[in-house]
Structure 1
């Protein structure tokens, strides 16, 4: 289930997720425009890929082909998109609602779900005032979070922070049927600064860091699964140290972090 962000960059992220996970079925619930956009996009993408494949295999081949056979090839190259009716009373999730859901998800990552813990009963056999007032029932339950996050104080020198940048060439600058050989996403190292406060950073796996050091390919780092996330609580440029909120105790799996534009304040 996606987050409901289907405009602009949100739509581009949907397309990227479908391609990255090699999705073969897409369900669109009660949104005619999104259904039309996805159908058109994948149809054109399949036509473009089929044309490139035919040009590479046999440039002199006759482009005319049985329409039914060609349509069958195109359908095999694109996911099946199914439009489902929206249930009665269901409304679209607006941007403020989605932002609040994201804040709650980040909070759950660091602090866990809320749980109710019964307060300890008094040592004496006499009922407490709360029990008397409530008719002698069970003691009230206190709410607390399941996890206890930890604050790490680390020097700048022990960490490396990378941010993603896009590098793409116009199709007009490339030869016919040629594809961009360089990675469209590059990594650029950045330094800690006060504006990075409240940023959510991804902690890279040591194996991905090692592989990136050997190959230098940005995709070996950003496309690998991350070990977890930390939140920047404080950036002290005077002593060149940063305070990171971590969901568990101990050292970070690696000192290589990825930063984006997600911010979170409790």
Structure 2
């Protein structure tokens, strides 16, 4: 049953296997505190009597195996209400069983000195794929494991900003308030909000990410045994389905978890090799579909968080960069129509080609990846990125940009890769 949360606060008594769910829809901060018992948020344990703060857009689910009391309040408001509710229908027991199965595979891998489980989570948009990844990573970390979390959902950006794919080693449970934001991920520039924009580049980067993860696993037994958990986007039809199969092959997965999509489950069971286990899991009742505008707001919030941190805890820098000090590229060029080509000549595939971009006012407010490549002659496309900047002003007379960057001048490298994403730095 839903209850209104007032500015003074409301207490919720959770019995074993209950889940308290709420979403922060206002522009104010919500404070949550566990006063009794034991509880967890997406697999990360809550500390007793610690006040956790959540900002607008946060979706929170507190689960308890033993029972607990949670207090939710709006410290800065009086009379404002928000809706929270306790649910007794939750898939957490099935998620725990999935974790237990993965742990059994890790124990066997440890004994036989083999590679640990590699699991990919697939399904349509807004069914809780990212949440399940977080739960499984946190449970593994609580047992002393260090699984690699690979995020190839370019529209959301759980390990880094949107428009990238990457991975990080989860050596400790994620922060209840900040997720994995304080860790340093390995990231590759994709530059778009959806794989559909450039599937050739997307597949190339997935292959590259899988190679790097294999190299990391070979150097650390703990990492190798702990395995890999892969989050995907919600594109599951047509070319999207082919991408799922190709991704499973690139990472050599042992387990495919399909959330809330029986047709996809049956298709993958039919098409994937027999040694790959395919399981169907339900989605949580707290998962809700998001509109295109809310997705856009979430992307903006993620980019802003990169520069300014949670609750403006970070202080980014603004400084000028001369046009001559950087080289700007965009990955992928449009295919020339056959009418523009000489007779009998086929169009070249330019989807993974680095195309020089000349300084102009059209670059204003775009996000740029700072490539780790030393020169344009290096394999820039498959080189990881060091961070991101936003061009906030352009002076054509002085021939310079003003950039928003997380660290002071100078830029660590001089190759910038342009994204389709834009960010307005409004304080």
Which category of TM-score, normalised to the shorter sequence, fits these structures?
0.5 to 0.7
Q: Any conservation in 2 of the 1:151–1:246 contact (CA below 8 Å)?
A: yes
CA 1:243–1:160 in structure 2 vs 1: closer, same or farther (change >3 Å)?
A: same
How far the C-alpha of 1:224 sits from its partner, in A, is: 1.7
Q: Which runs of structure 2 are paired with 1:116-265 in the superposition (5 Å)?
A: 145-165=312-332, 184-205=351-372, 208-210=373-375, 213=377, 220-265=379-424
CA 1:190–1:166 in structure 2 vs 1: closer, same or farther (change >3 Å)?
A: closer
1:127-184: CA deviations, max 9, x gaps? xxxxxxxxxxxxxxxxxx111110120111111100011588xxxxxxxxxxxx9885
Q: Which runs of structure 2 are paired with 1:21-40 in the superposition (5 Å)?
A: 22=251, 24=253, 25-32=255-262, 35=265, 39=268
Unmatched segments (≥5 aa) in structure 2? 1-129, 131-152, 157-192, 198-232, 336-347
CA distance in structure 2 between the partners assigned to 1:166 and 1:253 by the alignment: 27
Match of 1:100 in 2: 297
Rg larger in structure: 1
Unmatched segments (≥5 aa) in structure 1? 47-73, 115-144, 169-180, 215-219
Q: Which runs of structure 2 are paired with 1:7-46 in the superposition (5 Å)?
A: 8-9=196-197, 11=235, 15=243, 18=247, 22=251, 24=253, 25-32=255-262, 35=265, 39=268, 43=271
- Residue 209 of structure 1: SS of its match in structure 2? coil
More helix by share: 1
CA 1:34–1:147 in structure 2 vs 1: closer, same or farther (change >3 Å)?
A: farther
How far the C-alpha of 1:110 sits from its partner, in A, is: 0.3
Q: Any conservation in 2 of the 1:232–1:244 contact (CA below 8 Å)?
A: yes
How far the C-alpha of 1:21 sits from its partner, in A, is: 6.3
1:111 aligns with 2:308: yes
CA distance in structure 2 between the partners assigned to 1:245 and 1:6 by the alignment: 25
1:100-145: CA deviations, max 9, x gaps? 111111011000111xxxxxxxxxxxxxxxxxxxxxxxxxxxxxx1
CA 1:255–1:98 in structure 2 vs 1: closer, same or farther (change >3 Å)?
A: same
CA distance in structure 2 between the partners assigned to 1:202 and 1:20 by the alignment: 28
Which structure is richer in relative contact order (CA contacts within 8 A, separation 6 or more)? 1
Aligned length: 184
CA distance in structure 2 between the partners assigned to 1:158 and 1:245 by the alignment: 16
| TM-score after normalising by structure 1 | 0.58
CA distance in structure 1 between the partners assigned to 2:302 and 2:308 by the alignment: 10
CA distance in structure 1 between the partners assigned to 2:279 and 2:250 by the alignment: 18
Q: Any conservation in 1 of the 2:367–2:391 contact (CA below 8 Å)?
A: yes
- Residue 82 of structure 1: SS of its match in structure 2? strand
